[in-house]
Amino acid sequence: MYYIFLANGFEVTEAMAPLDVMRRAGLDVKTVGVTGAEVQSSNGVTVKADMELKALSYDDLEGVILPGGMPGTRNLKACREVTDCVRTCFDNGKLVAAICAAPSVLGFLGILNGKRATCFPGFEPELTGAVCTGEHVVADGNVITARGAGCSLSFGHAIVSAAVSKATADKVLSDMQCF
């Protein structure tokens, strides 16, 4: 199971576009309401999460995705259950993906030490230990980072490439008329 954590103030495109790409690729992925069953995005869109944080299970955990947005990123960083899950994924070689401001959570956890990474411009100082590339999407081992909302489909592509295959990711985006 892949979990996309939604906290109040998340960036809706950074959560929903990768979710769409992942589900089209056949991945088992659920949105997790960190701040309740209904979560309000940074631009006022309310999303009903598939599950609440209290239902989180590590039994079949395959990866986590952190959308950015403010104050969503700060809310993710402040949630012990989220940071514990991210740390567990990383420590066990599972997929850890973050976009926009959310790679700062990975920096806070020490996950980016020596890794190539990217983020929304201006958050580079919070990517502790990372080699910041400025690229739209960066995959380094089991960690995937992306710059922002405009990179959301490419971010989803990178996640599916890592979780399934590049050919599957290419087909999904081609079917979506992205190329």
Q: E strands, the chain, where?
A: 2-6, 29-33, 38-40, 46-48, 51-52, 63-66, 95-99, 116-117, 131-132, 137-140, 143-146
Q: Which of 85, 100, 132, 151 is catalytic?
A: 100
* 132 catalytic residue (yes or no): no
* CB-based burial label for 142 (10 Å; 0-12, 13-18, 19+): middle
Instruction: List for the chain the helix, strand, coil content (%; round to 5).
Output: 40, 25, 40
Catalytic residue positions, numbered: 100
